[in-house]
Amino acid sequence: MQMSGLGLGAVMLPQVPIMGNPVAEGQLLDPWFDAATKKKLAETALNAARDKGATYTDVRIGRYLQQYLFTRERQVQNIINAESYGIGIRVIANGTWGFSATSDVTPDGIAKCAATAVAIAKANSKFQKEPVVLAEQKGVGDKTWKTPLTKNAFEIPVREKIDLLMKVNGAAMDNGANFVTSNLFFVNEQKYFASTDGSFIDQDVHRIWPTFTVTVTDKASGKFKTRDAISSPMGMGYEYLDGLATEKIAGPNGMVGYRNSYDMVEDAIMAAKQAREKVTAKSVEPGKYDLVLDPNHLGLTIHESVGHPTELDRVLGYEANYAGTSFATLDKWKTKNFNYGSKLVNIVADKTQPHTLGAVGYDDEGVPCKEWDIIKDGILVNYQAIRDQVQILGEKESHGCCYADDWSSVQFQRMPNISLKPGTEKRSVLDMIKGVEKGIYIVGRGSYSIDQQRYNFQFGGQVFYEIKNGEIAGMLEDVAYQSNTQEFWNSCVQLCDKDDYRTFGSFFDGKGQPAQISAVSHGSSTTRFNGVNVINTGRKI
């Protein structure tokens, strides 16, 4: 479960998955095979697999680029430029999946790899109890898709990125921080998909995540407090760091919400001041509170309590030994009246929303991406399913949410964006707070834990403000809320409108054995939940 988390170790150099080999910065911009060459290589694989007896084959020729920068205070800790490329071939033979991958992308290497995939399928077919049933997918022919961006992050010199992080760290230190670590993560997936259905899809996917942790220490008391960035990882280019005023949303007590443009320096200044304020903040009185949850916090709660339990492979038991199963069973879904949440709760899955981590043109099975309902007016109406699963739901078309984190990994069902629709009545966060008598306003992702069937959860946050009689009454510390998924979503009583809507994201969500990562966004507007149990997490050692 090392990678299942959404957070990163703040003090030490984060343990992030590096999947490629180190290369020089400039090599990240080197051109790779053009689409015509990739098509030729893919056809080699499709033909070789068919000749060995495969009844279906798909091929992913991928080049995966990463640039990660790590700094602390006034120095660079590490810069990683990594590249990984190769081909993954998945086949069905004797009604069974087989997969093999190789970095030898020569016609000979590809043919051998295809033969291995077929041999594995045939060997595993001896143990197969449930033959693969694949939903039909018409070939889409030659297609291309590219993350819409205005600044390719890999074209921005490392020097400029370091300068930004040094400015961020300096701003935090100048405003009271004792320590600060800051990071920039950039990912580019150049992937070509081909299948025996007649699809040849070339995609260029970009992701970005700027983040930091500010630490304040108080020698006299021995206390230390941290505040993480309230940025979000995005499916965008370097333009996310423009800090456009038009993308800022004013919150209470000078808080700023960032929509599709992030001001990293401004947030670092705020973080340093808030971390300092935390040292002397009031310790929360445990009890029931109405919670006003900012999108940058609520996204994680959505991820854990709606995203994971509605993954069909979990529901069916395929993840039982690792991530677990799900309370959202097929029986509950079949009743068509399982109250997952209150009537205000409308949760959609998609891989199409612009600027999100999930957005692509086609998934890793060549299925065109779309949007579908998971919870409608509070009722559980659907799951997340891929080509070999949708028949279980009585559907004929895959949802298009299959993903592999590398050319060498086999694709499987991964979470699409899972988002809470904003309210239809005009309402800002300031309006919402005015209506709360006894509550807590929570921003940012903190500690998070949920059981293996996704009933019982506990969440912390980055910043907590007490709300008394419609007004912010000061900062709180030692806050965590515990609830049960169904109870929690049924206590949802009010939503801010679309002007407050923002996405939260997870860059390194983990699943499977061997573990794979994926990146996913969760949109929402600020939302109110009534009467949630809050505990005090303060202890003495």
Give φ, ψ of 382 to 5 degrees: -165, 175
Which residues in 201-230 contact another protein (CB under 8 A)? Answer: 215, 217, 219-224, 226
Among 51, 447, 469, 473, contact with another protein (rule: CB under 8 A): 447
Q: Would you list the DSSP string of 46-103?
A: HHHHHHHT-SEEEEEEEEEEEEEEEEETTEEEEEEEEEEEEEEEEEEETTEEEEEEES
Residues 122, 127, 133, 138, CA torsion sign: negative
Measured from the CB atom, is 28 or 436 closer to another protein?
28
Of 240-248, 367-375, 446-454, 522-530, the segment contacting another protein by CB under 8 A is 446-454
Which residues in 510-539 contact another protein (CB under 8 A)? Answer: 513-514, 533, 535, 537-539
Minimum CB separation of residue 456 from another protein in Å reads 4
Measured from the CB atom, is 158 or 265 closer to another protein?
158
Q: Is 391 in the site for another protein (CB under 8 A)?
A: no
Q: Is 453 in the site for another protein (CB under 8 A)?
A: yes
Q: Is 451 in the site for another protein (CB under 8 A)?
A: yes
Minimum CB separation of residue 187 from another protein in Å reads 19
Measured from the CB atom, is 139 or 324 closer to another protein?
324
| Burial class for 394, CB neighbours closer than 10 Å (0-12, 13-18, 19+) | exposed
Minimum CB separation of residue 45 from another protein in Å reads 18
Among 36, 123, 133, 473, contact with another protein (rule: CB under 8 A): 123
CB–CB of 174/40 below 8 Å? no
Minimum CB separation of residue 165 from another protein in Å reads 11
Measured from the CB atom, is 47 or 456 closer to another protein?
456
d(CA 95, CA 58): 15
Minimum CB separation of residue 359 from another protein in Å reads 28
Close Cβ partners of 442 (under 8 Å, ≥ 6 residues apart): 291, 292, 293, 294, 297, 461, 463, 464, 479, 481
Which residues in 316-355 contact another protein (CB under 8 A)? Answer: 316-322, 324-325, 327
Measured from the CB atom, is 352 or 537 closer to another protein?
537
Q: Is 396 in the site for another protein (CB under 8 A)?
A: no
Burial of 12-43, coded b for 16+ CB within 10 Å and e otherwise, reads: eebebeebbeebeeeebeeeebeeeebbebbe
Q: Tell me the helix, strand and coil percentages in the chain, rounded to 5.
A: 25, 35, 40
Minimum CB separation of residue 22 from another protein in Å reads 5
Minimum CB separation of residue 162 from another protein in Å reads 7
Distances (CA, A) of 250 to 88, 239, 255, 500: 47, 21, 6, 9
**Nearest residue to 177 via CA among 72, 104, 300:** 72
Contact characters 248-277, another protein, x per CB under 8 A: ------------------------------
Which residues in 139-198 contact another protein (CB under 8 A)? Answer: 162, 178-179
Q: Is 124 in the site for another protein (CB under 8 A)?
A: yes
Among 267, 350, 478, 500, contact with another protein (rule: CB under 8 A): 478
d(CA 488, CA 305): 9
Q: Is 1 in the site for another protein (CB under 8 A)?
A: yes
**Nearest residue to 181 via CA among 213, 159, 229, 228:** 213
Minimum CB separation of residue 367 from another protein in Å reads 21
Which residues in 83-102 contact another protein (CB under 8 A)? Answer: 97, 99
Q: Is 476 in the site for another protein (CB under 8 A)?
A: no
Q: Is 11 in the site for another protein (CB under 8 A)?
A: yes
- Stretch (H or E) spanning 141: strand 141-146
β-partners of residue 235 are none
Residues 232, 234, 238, 240, CA torsion sign: negative
Q: Is 541 in the site for another protein (CB under 8 A)?
A: yes
Of 55-63, 70-78, 198-206, 432-440, the segment contacting another protein by CB under 8 A is 70-78
Among 24, 31, 336, 337, contact with another protein (rule: CB under 8 A): 24
Close Cβ partners of 496 (under 8 Å, ≥ 6 residues apart): 422, 423, 427, 428, 429, 431, 432, 525, 526, 527
